[in-house]
Amino acid sequence: MADLCEGCALVESCEVVRQFGRCAVTTCVDYKSIEDECEKIIANPSKATMKLEKEFQSRVEDWLRLRGYYRRTPTDISQIVKAPRGWQIHLHQTKRNPILLDILLLSHDGHCTEFELKRSPIRWNGDEQRTLCEQYGNPVFTSFEAVVAHVKKWEREHEEADGRSNSDANAGGVHDSE
């Protein structure tokens, strides 16, 4: 293992890393600024959680696009090529959105699934969000792998219900790597 500079060693032993799994400071910079940034994050942990949650949401959106679910934006709607599997809806920059969870997937054949993406520990943005998940059975995912498993299971279930095979669903150039 290569020797770590003072800044990297500080990040590796940082309280933020212990609490959140990784530090919000991602580049090797002057270790004093890392120390100052870590102190700010420890003082306000919701900022670090929010940043990590946004990265998680972005990763899920990118994977869904590769899977054939295009973002339902004016740009993607007006593309010449139809979204192979359907649409993903994720409202960005909303102030306390009580009506939609993070991701709403819509297939072309009328099926949908909705789920929330959170980093541990789970902190709800309001009673409505908690109600949608806990009382209405919408899943909350804290890992990318759990999202992938859920989406694949949801696809299989509605393909079987519609009597389609996996090869029919993969028409249009979308192929499973498994």
* Domain residue limits at 61: 52-169
Is residue 64 domain-shared with residue 138, that is, in the same domain? Answer: yes
User: Residue 3 has what pLDDT?
Assistant: 46
Is residue 97 domain-shared with residue 119, that is, in the same domain? Answer: yes
- Say if 118 falls within a structural domain: yes
Cis link prior to 139 (omega < 30° from 0)? no
- Say if 88 falls within a structural domain: yes
Tally of helices (H runs) and strands (E runs) in the chain: 8, 5
**Whole-structure pTM value:** 0.64
Q: Compute the average pLDDT of residues 146-171.
A: 76
Cα–Cα distance measured from residue 165 to residue 159, given in angstroms and rounded to the nearest whole number: 7
Q: What is the DSSP letter of 173?
A: T
Highest mean pLDDT among 10-19, 88-97, 135-144: 135-144
- Say if 1 falls within a structural domain: no
Residue written as tokens 């590769």? 66
Is residue 160 domain-shared with residue 73, that is, in the same domain? Answer: yes
User: Residue 24 has what pLDDT?
Assistant: 47
pLDDT band at 174 (very low <50, low <70, confident <90, very high): very low
